[in-house]
Structure 1
Amino acid sequence: MTDREAAEQEVLFHEPGGTWWWLLAGPAAGAAMMFIQLSGGAGIQFGVPAAFTILVSGFLWIQIKAARIHTSVELTPTTLRQGTEFVTIADIVKIYPEPKRHETEKWQSYRAFGELSGIPRGRTGIGMKLTDGRSGQAWARRHRTLRAALESLVGEPAS
C-alpha cells in the first residue's frame, strides 16, 4: 500500500450511529417476566421469559442494524460518508458557521445528506455549499468535532 492509499484510508471522524449495548434490554425483559411470574406465585414457566428475550432482542437487533447503516458518519481526507451517501471533500466549497443562539439560518432548511428525510434525532446539522450550486447539511452527534475536522480539510468557514 502506498502512502497515498494509507492516507485515504485514515479515518478522521467516526460515529457508529447505534450501539449494540441496547441488546441487553432483551435479557432484561426476559428477567422482568421471570420476576413477574415469581411474584405472582405461579412459579416459572421458561417459555414466556424466553419468548420475551428473543422477541425484544430480535426487534432491537433490527433497529440497531438500521441505525448503524443509516445514521453512521465517517470522515476521511477524501470523503464524508453520511449513512449510505458519500460527499467528496473536493466538492465542498464552504462550510457555513454555526448559527447564533435562537437564530435560524437559511442553511438549516437545506437537504440533509444521507437517504433520510431529515437530520436524525439527536444530531445537529452543519450547513455546506457544494460545487455546481448544490448545498446540504452534514450531521453528527458530536457536530463540533465533525465541523472542526471538516474545516481543517476545506478551509475557513464562510461568513
Structure 2
Amino acid sequence: MTAPQPEILFHEPGATWWWALAGPVAAGAMAAIQISTGYGFQPIVPGIFLVLVTGFLAIQIKAARIHTSVELTAVALRQGAETIRIEEIVRIFPPASGPEVPRWQSYRALGELTGVPRGRTGIGLKLTADRSAQAWARKHAKLREALTALVDGAES
C-alpha cells in the first residue's frame, strides 16, 4: 500500500500540449498553398510538415514540462528536476523594488537550469546550512504567497 500524496498547493506544468497543434496547422497551410497554386493536393509535403513540426514541438514541450514545471506541497518544493524540503527554507527575501537589484537575484536558480527560465520571475530563498537559491514561477506572486504561508507557519 502506498502512502497518500500530499495536497498540491501550487502547480505550473511548464508548457502546454496545445502548442503541438501547430504541426497540423502547418500541414494544413501547406495543403492550402498547394491547392491555391493549382498543383492540386499532394500529401507528401504536408505530411512531412505534420511529422517534423509536431515531432519537434512535442520534444520541446516534453522538455519544458520536465525542466520548467513547479509543484509545491506542504512537504516540498519541486522546481524542474530539483526538489527541496520546505523545512530547508529559512527565509523568503522580499520582492525586488526600486532601481537597485537585490543581491538574491544573483543566487543559483533551483532546478537543473543555469538561471531563472524565460518568462518566470525569481523568488529569493535563504536555505539551511548558509545556502541561498532562487525559486521561480510564471505566477510568482501566488508561489511567493504559498511559500510564505508555509515557511511562516513552520516558524510558529
Give the TM-score taking structure 2 as reference length. Answer: 0.94
Corresponding position: 1:124 with 2:127: no
Matched residue, 2:93: 96
Matched, 1:22 2:19: yes
Take 1:101 and 1:38, find their aligned partners in 2: how far apart are those partners? 57
Per-residue CA distance 1:16-64 (angstroms, 9 max, x = gap): 0000000110000000101111121111101110110111000000000
Aligned-pair identity (%): 62
Q: Which residue of 1 aligns with 2:38?
A: 41
Which stretch of the first structure deviates more once superposed, 93-102 or 56-65? 93-102
* Structure 1: runs of 5 or more not aligned: none
Residue 82 (structure 2) aligned to one of 80, 85, 91 = 85
Question: Counterparts of 1:101 and 1:143 in 2: how far apart (Å)?
Answer: 18
How many Å apart are 1:103 and its aligned residue?
2.8
1:76 matched to which residue of 2? 73
Q: Does 1:52 align with 2:49?
A: yes
Q: CA RMSD in A?
A: 1.5
Once the two structures are TM-superposed, the CA of residue 148 in structure 1 deviates from its matched residue by 0.2
Aligned to 2:129, what secondary structure does the other structure show? helix
1:146 — aligned with what? 143
TM-score w.r.t. the length of structure 1 is: 0.92
- Show structure 2 runs of 5+ residues with no match: none
Amino acid at match of 1:110: Y
Quote the Cα distance in structure 2 between the aligned partners of 1:89 and 1:14: 15
Runs of 4+ in structure 1 displaced over 3 angstroms? Answer: none
Alpha-carbon distance, 1:101 to partner: 3.6
Alignment coverage as a number of residue pairs? 153
